[in-house]
Amino acid sequence: MGWFSRRPRAVEGIPTTLDREATREDLTALEDFVAAHRGVEFYLEPETTATDTTVVAIAHDGEWIRRRTGSPRTAAKLAHRHAVPLYEAAKTGYPERMRVWNRAHPERRLR
């Protein structure tokens, strides 16, 4: 039986109905994070059925934010413009300093 073949597929480049598109505010938040922190690296997260393409910006101390970028190309342009390295999270994983920061700031999970 074709259970999965009956589900509609997302069209390339069009976000699912469960998601919202990236906004200028998302990109501004990433730019502000880069300006306010040192040693920032970007980790690209691919589009899923529930979320548009996102970037996790991680500072030298492990503090981080996640924002939508809309596409990998937009993320790459943003990284290039601010001279920030861009990694694919699915290939490299996240740095240990992010997990250490999360353990030290449990209040962040309540947001």
The tens digit of pLDDT for each residue in 31-59 reads 999 999 999 999 999 988 888 899 999 99
How confident is the model at residue 1, as a pLDDT? 46
Residue 13 has pLDDT above 70, yes or no: no
Residue 15 has pLDDT above 70, yes or no: no
pTM of the model: 0.80
First to last CA, the chain: 42
How confident is the model at residue 28, as a pLDDT? 96
How confident is the model at residue 109, as a pLDDT? 66
Distance CA 96, CA 102 (A): 10
The tens digit of pLDDT for each residue in 52-86 reads 899 999 999 999 999 999 899 999 999 999 999 99
CA gyration radius, the chain:
16
- Tell me if 39 sits within 8 A of 97, measured CB to CB: no
Cite the beta strand spans of the chain per DSSP E: 41-45, 54-58, 64-68, 86-88
How confident is the model at residue 22, as a pLDDT? 86
Better pLDDT: 2 or 34: 34
Better pLDDT: 41 or 10: 41
